[in-house]
């Protein structure tokens, strides 16, 4: 009697073990990110968190047609505009970028101050991470929201001691309309 029960129990336990392992593997493919502790726009600032599809960027401020989903976070305060551009793959419902991607040009940082009389050293991204997840994957592309978290380490061109960090965690809205 015991031997008749052992085989079904072994099959049942191995099946549940297999499913739990495959679930953990699929969860690992999706970056861990939640909607808590979002970055806020500073007092007296105007912020926007947008994305567009089939795009690329050129220079510090120009979007052009391309093969990426481009996210940008912009903050404007009394004459100073700070913008972080992120090139993400078009495919998938989530993405992750690493230091290699950042150094490879998938991140662009720009701080402009036309009215400033002092020289500001240009900063370039040198490390960090970006992860994003489509929070409304069943919606049309122009009706989706992406939750993106980015921590980018910057270094001044020519002045390695001068460093800065940009952190953004926010929901990004589409900046295009289909139809």
Q: Is the pLDDT of residue 7 over 50?
A: no
CA–CA separation, 73 and 50 (whole Å): 7
Query: Does residue 38 lie within any of the structural domains?
Result: no
Query: Does residue 108 lie within any of the structural domains?
Result: yes
DSSP secondary structure, 56-81, as one string = EEETTTEEEE-SEEEEEEEEEETTEE
Structure-token match 């994957």, residue found: 137
pLDDT at residue 30, rounded to an integer: 72
Residue 8 vs residue 80, higher pLDDT: 80
Query: Does residue 87 lie within any of the structural domains?
Result: yes
pLDDT at residue 119, rounded to an integer: 56
Query: Does residue 147 lie within any of the structural domains?
Result: yes
**pLDDT, tens only, 66-79:** 999 999 999 998 88
Average pLDDT, the chain: 83
The pLDDT confidence band at residue 137, using thresholds 50, 70 and 90, is very high
Indicate the number of domains in the chain. Answer: 1
Query: Does residue 154 lie within any of the structural domains?
Result: yes
pLDDT at residue 29, rounded to an integer: 67
Of 104, 112, 33, the closest CA to residue 86 belongs to 104
Of 92, 65, 83, the closest CA to residue 146 belongs to 92
Task: Count helices and strands (H / E) in the chain.
Answer: 2, 9
pLDDT at residue 164, rounded to an integer: 93
Q: Is the pLDDT of residue 31 over 50?
A: yes
The pLDDT confidence band at residue 118, using thresholds 50, 70 and 90, is low
Query: Does residue 13 lie within any of the structural domains?
Result: no
Pull the structure tokens for residue 4.
Answer: 């008749």
Residue 58 vs residue 47, higher pLDDT: 47
Kindly report which listed range (26-30, 61-65, 90-94, 146-150) carries the lowest average pLDDT score. 26-30
Q: Is the pLDDT of residue 17 over 50?
A: no
Burial class (CB in 10 A: 0-12, 13-18, 19+), 16: exposed
Parallel, antiparallel, or unpaired: how do β-strands 68-77 and 94-97 relate? Answer: unpaired
pLDDT at residue 117, rounded to an integer: 54
Angle at the Cα of 106 (from 63 to 146), degrees rounded to 5? 75
- Domain range for 79 is 46-174
Query: Does residue 21 lie within any of the structural domains?
Result: no
Query: Does residue 89 lie within any of the structural domains?
Result: yes
CA distance between the termini of the chain: 67
Of 135, 129, 134, 133, the closest CA to residue 167 belongs to 129
User: Exposed e or buried b for every residue in 149-170, given b needs 16+ CB within 10 A?
Assistant: bbebbbbeeeeeeeeeebebbb
pLDDT at residue 46, rounded to an integer: 95
pLDDT at residue 113, rounded to an integer: 79
**3-29 mean pLDDT:** 41
pLDDT at residue 55, rounded to an integer: 95
């Amino acid at each position: 009697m015991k031997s008749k029960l052992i085989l079904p129990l072994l099959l049942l336990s191995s099946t549940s073990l297999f499913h739990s392992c495959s679930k953990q593997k699929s969860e690992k493919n999706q970056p861990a990110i939640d909607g808590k502790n979002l970055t806020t726009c500073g007092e007296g600032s105007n912020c926007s968190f947008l994305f567009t599809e089939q795009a690329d960027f050129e220079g510090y401020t120009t979007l052009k047609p391309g093969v990426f989903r481009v996210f940008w976070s912009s903050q404007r305060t009394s004459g100073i505009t700070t913008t972080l551009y992120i090139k993400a793959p078009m495919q998938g419902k989530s993405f992750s970028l690493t230091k290699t991607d950042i150094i490879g040009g998938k991140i662009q940082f720009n701080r402009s101050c036309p009215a400033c009389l002092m020289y500001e050293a240009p900063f370039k991204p040198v490390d960090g991470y970006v992860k994003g997840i489509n929070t409304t994957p069943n919606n049309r592309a122009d009706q989706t929201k992406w939750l993106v978290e980015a921590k980018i380490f910057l270094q001044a061109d020519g002045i390695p001691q001068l460093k800065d960090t940009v952190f953004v965690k926010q929901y990004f809205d589409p900046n295009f309309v289909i139809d």
